[in-house]
């Protein structure tokens, strides 16, 4: 409760400090006209059924539901030449619970609050405040800090970032390093993140290189290269990725974590009607321990499926031992019905750690319908099977539907 009051007071005082500068730069009428309002409203439903192996687990089947509503309101306004203020409010209400997805909660908060300033006579942009981290290692993480981007070199974007307190959509402090036998000062929420990146092209090959460091926890390097051609109306391309994680020596001593390496490749082919992807990823953590390649879910890493990315030990965040993944994913645009796309994904994961072997697979079918630029619908049905040795066999089916309206 105290934290909520503190955030409200902090937001109020920050707004009060900025208001005189804003009104001094423009009249009130002009100020109101310049405010740009956008956002989205989303409603979603999950239904999940779990069928344990009766020969190993001796439990009955179980089912659960989750209903969620989310609204985002974003306001952006110029203050003075080159300076813009952005505030984003988030309302989220969840009722119910399913495995691997956050359960019941209600949240109302200032989700993003930052200022962005473009340097005169330069293509340098400075963003300061609470914002999306926007790095290959993160998915929807929010953090407080700064981001500087520069586009002076044609075709390239250079970035420098520094953040503290990584948070997810639930506004909760992001998860801590698992099973540490140390004090709370090793939790990610108490650590700083620094990163530097470069994105651009060498000829016809787009590239991305990032180095990220969570202070006293891990240092990661990420590299990606793509190549594509168009042949008789078909877009054909291949993507290669590499990531290495170097865990802090003290963390190695106090936990079951160690250095890890990730390799990924994905080939795709498609046209206006049909496209398909096939990919393979490999992660190896030294001494059969836990690795820390991504900082949340799958980040910008090659992936497919829906529920697989939430499975610890089978995804790129907090993976264990040696993990091999291959997948194929297809999309078909139904041209007679403009905006309708059908999908099918198959993902297979093998994980080996000491004497425990996991063999899991997921099959997903679904579709999305874009009614117009503002309203779209999405649905999918996932069947996840875990046929691991020495552990109970699990069959998990999950249905999801959502409607989203943007304004």
pLDDT digits (tens, 9 = 90+) for 302-339: 988 888 877 766 666 667 788 899 999 999 999 888 89
Strands, E, within 119-202: which ranges?
124-132, 142-150, 157-167, 192-202
Confidence of residue 394 (pLDDT cuts 50, 70, 90): confident
pLDDT score at 13: 46
The residue ranking higher by pLDDT, 295 or 268, is: 268
pLDDT surpassing 80 at residue 67: yes
Q: What tens digit of pLDDT does each residue of 228-272 get?
A: 999 999 999 999 999 999 988 888 887 778 899 999 999 999 998
pLDDT surpassing 80 at residue 211: yes
Write the DSSP string, 286-353.
Answer: GGG-B--S-SSTTTTS----SSGGGSTBTSSSSBBSEEEEEEEEEEEE-TTSTTEEEEEEEEEEEEEE
Confidence of residue 181 (pLDDT cuts 50, 70, 90): very low
Domains of the chain as residue ranges with CATH: 35-406 (2.40.160.10)
The residue ranking higher by pLDDT, 221 or 137, is: 221
pLDDT score at 172: 43
The residue ranking higher by pLDDT, 311 or 390, is: 311
Q: How far is CA 341 from CA 100, 234, 290, 334, in A?
A: 26, 18, 38, 6
pLDDT score at 44: 96
Q: Cβ contacts of residue 119 below 8 Å, gap of 6+?
A: 82, 125, 126
| 44 vs 351: CA distance, rounded Å | 32
| 363 vs 341: CA distance, rounded Å | 17
Nearest to 240 by CA among 302, 293, 297, 328: 302
Contact indicator for 150, 160 with CB cutoff of 8 Å: no
Neighbours of 344 (CB within 10 A): 16
pLDDT score at 359: 83
The residue ranking higher by pLDDT, 116 or 393, is: 116
pLDDT surpassing 50 at residue 94: yes
In our burial notation (b when 16+ CB lie closer than 10 A, e otherwise), range 220-239 reads bebebbbeeeeeeeeeebeb
Structure tokens at 52: 């344990």
| 367 vs 377: CA distance, rounded Å | 8
Q: How many CA atoms lie within 13 A of 392 on its CB side?
A: 14
| 176 vs 171: CA distance, rounded Å | 15
Name the β-bridge partners of 159. 149, 197
pLDDT score at 189: 59
Sign of CA dihedral 311, 316, 319, 325: positive
pLDDT score at 183: 45
Contact indicator for 40, 406 with CB cutoff of 8 Å: yes
Q: Is the pTM of this model over 0.85?
A: no
The residue ranking higher by pLDDT, 57 or 105, is: 105
């Amino acid at each position: 409760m105290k934290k909520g009051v503190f955030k409200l007071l902090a937001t109020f005082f920050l707004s009060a400090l900025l208001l005189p500068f804003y009104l001094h730069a423009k009249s009130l009428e002009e100020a109101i006209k310049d405010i740009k309002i956008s956002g989205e409203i989303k409603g979603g439903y999950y239904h999940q059924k779990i069928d344990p192996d009766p020969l190993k687990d001796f439990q009955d089947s179980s089912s659960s539901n989750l209903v969620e509503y989310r609204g985002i309101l974003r306001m952006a306004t110029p203050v003075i030449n080159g300076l813009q203020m952005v505030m984003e409010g988030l309302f989220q209400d969840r009722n119910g619970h399913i495995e691997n997805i956050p359960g019941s909660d209600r949240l109302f908060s200032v989700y993003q609050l930052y200022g962005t300033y473009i340097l005169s006579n330069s293509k340098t942009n400075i963003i300061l405040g609470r914002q999306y981290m926007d790095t290959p290692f993160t998915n929807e993480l929010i953090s407080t800090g700064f981001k500087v981007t520069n586009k002076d070199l044609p075709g390239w974007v250079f970035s420098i970032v520094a953040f503290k307190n990584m948070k997810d959509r639930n506004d909760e402090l992001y998860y801590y390093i698992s099973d540490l036998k140390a004090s709370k000062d090793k939790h990610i929420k108490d650590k700083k993140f620094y990163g530097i990146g470069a994105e651009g092209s060498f000829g016809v090959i787009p590239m991305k290189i990032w180095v990220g460091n969570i202070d006293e926890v891990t240092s990661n390097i990420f590299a990606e290269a793509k190549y594509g051609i168009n042949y008789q109306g078909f877009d054909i391309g291949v993507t290669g990725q590499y990531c290495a994680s170097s865990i802090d020596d003290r963390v190695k001593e106090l936990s079951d974590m160690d250095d890890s390496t990730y390799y990924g490749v994905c080939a795709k082919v498609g046209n206006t009607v049909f496209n398909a992807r096939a990919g393979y990823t490999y992660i190896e953590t030294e001494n059969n321990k836990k690795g820390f390649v991504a900082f949340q879910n799958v980040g910008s890493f090659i992936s497919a499926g829906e529920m697989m990315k939430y499975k610890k030990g089978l995804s790129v965040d907090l993976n264990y031992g040696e993990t091999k993944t291959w997948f194929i994913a297809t999309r078909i645009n139904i041209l007679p019905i403009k905006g309708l796309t059908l999908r099918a994904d198959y993902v297979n994961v093998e994980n080996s750690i000491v004497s425990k072997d996991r063999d899991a697979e997921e099959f997903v079918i679904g579709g999305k319908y874009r009614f117009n630029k503002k309203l779209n619908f999405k649905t999918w049905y996932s069947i996840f099977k875990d046929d691991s040795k020495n552990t109970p066999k699990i069959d998990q089916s999950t249905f999801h539907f959502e409607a989203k309206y943007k304004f």
